[in-house]
Structure 1
Amino acid sequence: MTEHPHDITRGFKDVFSRLASGVCVVSFWRGESVHGFTATSVTSVSLAPLRVLFCLSRASESHSSLRPGLPVGISVLHAEQQVLSERFARRVGEGTGYADVRLSQLIRHAPVLDGAIGQIAATVVEIIPSGDHSIVLCDVTHAQASSDGEPLLYCKRNYHRLHHSL
């Protein structure tokens, strides 16, 4: 890994903290229980094939579970789901796990969160190491959007809401 002077690293983090982003939870089955993590680096990649990517720290507890062929659910969180975002941002050992989280299961065994304003079922196709993170490419097998509700946003290291209706 390339080391940078502290002021460049801090500036880099500060710049990207100002990039407002929607908040997602990426979830998957590990045995009989659901696991997952909060992600703000989720991006559409392609329409042919339908493909998305998310980025994940290689030090994340979830990283070792990801592999090509794994079905994953991507839930775009509603503004009222901040507590779920915070919960999936913690390590499982720091809480009670996710057994009580209300889930739906889209096709191909991809768990998604009930109440999310958007839900995607996908299959991991490639994991690309890049520095201290990995870029995870996934082919989309199902996508559905809620007709109402506003997104949960993250900017300047805090959660936010839109101040007008979409």
Structure 2
Amino acid sequence: MSGAHIFDLDGNDPTADGRALRDAFGCFTTGVTVVTTLNQAGERVGFTANSFASVSLDPPLALMCIGHDASCLPALEASGFFAINVLHVDQQVLSRQFTAKNADRFEGLTPEVWKTGAPIIPGCMANFDCETHYAFDAGDHRVFVGKVLKVGYDPGHEPLVFLRGGYRRVHTD
């Protein structure tokens, strides 16, 4: 196994264990999404996330995860709904925009509103409008399973993906 790294995550060196686990997770290619909702004042909030997965077709369920220390968590908890906006390769700047601190992450955007009221970012590769079906804690994150109420997609784009700490391109046929 040339170049392979193997670590026991025994807790004796939490910093090294965390780095090894992060590097290993980074070997899994993920899509890039922007998750959006409204806070209790009705203001739009959103964040970039790569922790998204399909769960079930019947009923239609998808999940995403957010860290316990994330500023958007209280809005997700209170609203009971969220949208997952799947980004394509030409939306890398948008992905970074939704990681900015102390900035209007929706600047320059005119979101649509579907069934739940969560902001839907137009022009994405896919959009999922979800009501919170179930939420639970898992380690240092909160997992939200959403019932998908409306979906839209445009497969005519290459996806924006994240691998080993950076954005990548995937050429599709």
| TM-score, normalised with respect to structure 1 | 0.89
- Tell me the residue number matched to 2:3: none
- Tell me the residue number matched to 1:13: 22
- Tell me the residue number matched to 1:104: 112
Please say if 1:125 is aligned against 2:105: no
- Tell me the residue number matched to 2:153: 145
Give 1:40's aligned amino acid. N
Bigger Rg, structure 1 or 2: 2
Q: Tell me the distance in 2 between the aligned counterparts of 1:150 and 1:4.
A: 42
| Mapped contact 2:11–2:17 kept (Cα < 8 A) | no
Q: Deviations over 1:17-51 (max 9, x none)?
A: 11111000010122343111111010111122111
Q: Deviations over 1:65-107 (max 9, x none)?
A: 122762211110011111111111233x1x2342432312222
> What secondary structure does 1:119 align onto?
strand
For residues 27-46 of structure 1, what are the structure 2 equivalents within 5 Å? Answer: 27-30=36-39, 31-46=41-56
Which of 80, 102, 122 aligns to 1:70? It is 80
Greater relative CO (CA pairs within 8 A, separation 6+): 1
| Mapped contact 1:122–1:142 kept (Cα < 8 A) | yes
| Mapped contact 1:79–1:152 kept (Cα < 8 A) | yes
Give 2:121's aligned amino acid. L
Q: Percent identity?
A: 27
Instruction: Mark the runs of 5 or more structure 2 residues left unpaired by the alignment.
Output: 1-9
Deviation at 1:119, TM superposition (A): 0.7
Q: Tell me the distance in 1 between the aligned counterparts of 2:78 and 2:42.
A: 19
The number of equivalent residue pairs is 162
- Comparing both structures, which one devotes a greater share of its residues to strand? 1
Please say if 1:22 is aligned against 2:31: yes
- Tell me the residue number matched to 2:96: 86
| Mapped contact 1:68–1:123 kept (Cα < 8 A) | no
| Mapped contact 1:29–1:35 kept (Cα < 8 A) | yes
The alignment's C-alpha RMSD in Å is 1.9
